[in-house]
Amino acid sequence: MSELAIRNGIVFDPLNGIEGEKLDIYIKDGKIVKNVGASATVIDASGMMVMPGGVDIHSHIAGSKVNAGRILRPEDHEKDVETRTSLTRAGTGKSIPSTFTTGYRYARMGYTTVFEPATPLMKTRHTHEELDDTPIVDKGCFPLFGNDWRTLEYLAQGRVEECAAYVSWMLRATKGYAIKVVNPGGVEAWRWGRYITGLKDHVPNFDITPKEIVRGICKVNQLLKLPHTIHVHTNDLAKIGNYETTIATMDSVRDLAHDNKPIIHITHVQFTGRSGSAWHNIGSGAPEIGDYVNKHDHVTVDLGQVVFMDTTTMTADGGFQYMLYQLSGNKWMNFDVEVETGAGVVPYKYRRNNYVNAIQWGIGLELALLVKDPWRVYLTTDHPNGGTFTKYPKIIAWLMSKKAREKSVGRINKTAQKKLDLPGIDREYSFPEIVIITRAGTAKALGLRQKGHLGIGADADVSIYNLDPTKIDPSKDYRLVRKALKRAAFTIKDGRIVVKNGEIVEAPLGRTYWVDSKVSESLMKDVESEMRKTFDDYYTVQMDNYAMDDNELANPSRITVKAEV
């Protein structure tokens, strides 16, 4: 099984300039190669689309808050079960699938890499234990820094280099991939039950503002040369009109950018893309945000698209979750984490005829359609916050077909229909653009050079869909697009066929990527001895028991970089 030939497929590999050409793809020993021998297994992909395996840049699939959600909602799982087979484990869905089910469902959809975007430093061991029980897909996680006492203190003192060494230690200790920032400073306020607003408010007891945190962490990221940019969930999630905060956050680091490269990623922009002053007059801030993104190439974004369904919201932004509990009256989990961060979980149902939900739905789609460069906008639902990841094909259909959008627009709250610009937008995404926003662009943003494309030497993660792009018009036949993308004809992971006709045929364990950014020994030594004191003063766990050993991950893949400090 080490040689595979995918013949006659219509290949999409936008990173390498291939946008729907009939080409053969050859695989050997888990990599894309120039050619293979005659004894290679052949997949006849005639009339099918061939593309790199999906790379999800932001999906809450593992860790403390995700599991808190599972425990909170037995009713979520009862209606959606997976029966075990000789190859696959039993499990449950629906909005917070169990770990094995998560891996299988991503693979069935043709996804091969997924990142858990928010994990408390202290609880990242838990996140990895869940990821190690998530089969097939490669994965990684983003530990949270934006409300961590040491980070706030270093940055307040202007000690960016020490902060970088500290973050380097933490990424090694937690086997993390990138720096995540959620409501910088705001979650520390929430740990007192308080809120801050905007970027210039002072964090209680710390001499720093959110703007200073974002700028400082951005500099740290650059010093550490991490493969991904800082990944930011902005302040003011609870504020009604919050798009201005999003733009201000993007703008706060503009001067730090160079080489036209992105240096900040704003996640689930839909949630912080609202205009208005009260719930009854909220509107879409997508035009303004889209405009800013179009004019500034230091920013990338992902959608956090809403789908009308009963789902579960979960975020490190605990204060927001309290507010959502108050608004909805639904049950509410909250887990503050000492020194570092918080979390909250609240079930939520998005309804078409709810004015606010309809606007939220429109914001995500507008943003995708208004941002011109598909390499800087990515498809997510912030699973499960906006909806489950299994709904991606539905969203793709909306993006590719104005007709599909019109049908849905016709069913939403009438006032929202009038308020949104969405009905008037004609743009329809092409197949290459869809491939970019679901794999090529996300892999690039993550700095995963061997993913998201089918060039020689790339990981042989390939998805093949039963859809002939030369014969169908996605604008009209969006239902066929949706259907085909739900169940891959073949999903190939590291050169092994793992899915055939939407069924799991093999379930190997994927890798866990983490980044080891090496700073100078003397700097690291100084910072480590400072850290010892903070462990004694702040924590309830010994420093020696905190860090994960390298052998704690079942299948680690370390990415080493040399930091600038």
Partner 1 sequence: MRMTKEVIPNVICTFCGATCDDLQVTVENGKVQSSRSGCAISLAKLMEYNRDRHLTPLMKKNGELHEASYQQAVSRAAEILANAKYPILYGWSSTSCEATKVGIELTEWVGGVIDNTTTVCHGPTLLGVHDIGEVSCTFGEVRQRADLIVYWGSNPIHSHPHHMQRLAIRKGRFRGGRKDRKIVVVDVRKTDTAKLADHFLQITPNGDYDLLCAFRMAVRGDELEQDVIAGVPADKIEEIADLMVSCEFGILFFGVGLTMTSGKHRNIDVALSLVRDLNARTKFLIMPMRGWYNVAGANQVTAWVTGFPYAVDLSQGYPRYNPGDTTVIDILSRGDSDAALVVASDPVSNFPVEATRRLAQIPIVTIDPRPSATGLISEVVFPSAIVGIETGGSIYRMDGVALKTKPVVPPPPGIRPDVEILRDILREVKKLKGGQTLE
Q: Which is nearer to partner 1, 171 or 266 (CB)?
A: 171
Tell me how far apart the alpha carbons of residues 172 and 565 are, in angstroms, rounded to a whole number: 16
Tell me how far apart the alpha carbons of residues 100 and 92 are, in angstroms, rounded to a whole number: 9
Label the pairing between strands 138-143 and 111-119. parallel
Residue 22 pairs in a beta bridge with: 10
Q: Which is nearer to partner 1, 300 or 311 (CB)?
A: 311
Q: How far is the CB of 525 from partner 1 (least distance, A)?
A: 20
Q: Which is nearer to partner 1, 150 or 444 (CB)?
A: 150
Q: Which is nearer to partner 1, 84 or 254 (CB)?
A: 84
Other beta carbons less than 10 A from residue 309's beta carbon: 18
Per the listing, tokens 């990242």 go with: 124
Q: How far is the CB of 344 from partner 1 (least distance, A)?
A: 9
* H/E segment holding residue 497: strand 496-500
Q: Which is nearer to partner 1, 98 or 360 (CB)?
A: 98
Residue 4 pairs in a beta bridge with: 27, 41
In this structure, the dihedral spanned by the alpha carbons of residues 361, 357, 286 and 400, taken in order and rounded to 10 degrees, is 10
Q: How far is the CB of 390 from partner 1 (least distance, A)?
A: 16
Q: Which is nearer to partner 1, 97 or 186 (CB)?
A: 97
* H/E segment holding residue 290: helix 286-295
Q: How far is the CB of 85 from partner 1 (least distance, A)?
A: 5
Q: How far is the CB of 216 from partner 1 (least distance, A)?
A: 21
Contacts of 536 (CB under 8 A, 6+ apart): none
Cβ burial of 96 (10 Å; 0-12, 13-18, 19+) is buried
Structure-block tokens of residue 474: 């996605």
Q: How far is the CB of 196 from partner 1 (least distance, A)?
A: 15
In this structure, the dihedral spanned by the alpha carbons of residues 355, 361, 362 and 364, taken in order and rounded to 10 degrees, is 150
Q: Which is nearer to partner 1, 67 or 221 (CB)?
A: 67
Interacting residues toward partner 1 by CB under 8 A:
62, 64, 66-68, 70-75, 77-78, 81-86, 89-92, 96-100, 122-123, 125-126, 129-130, 133, 191-193, 205, 322, 325, 331-339, 345-346, 537-542, 544-545, 548-549, 552
* SS3 (DSSP) at 447: coil
Other beta carbons less than 10 A from residue 476's beta carbon: 12
Q: How far is the CB of 327 from partner 1 (least distance, A)?
A: 13
Q: How far is the CB of 135 from partner 1 (least distance, A)?
A: 12
Tell me how far apart the alpha carbons of residues 561 and 167 are, in angstroms, rounded to a whole number: 14
Q: Which is nearer to partner 1, 203 or 440 (CB)?
A: 203
Q: Which is nearer to partner 1, 110 or 120 (CB)?
A: 120
Q: How far is the CB of 474 from partner 1 (least distance, A)?
A: 35
Phi, psi at 239, each rounded to 5°: -75, 145
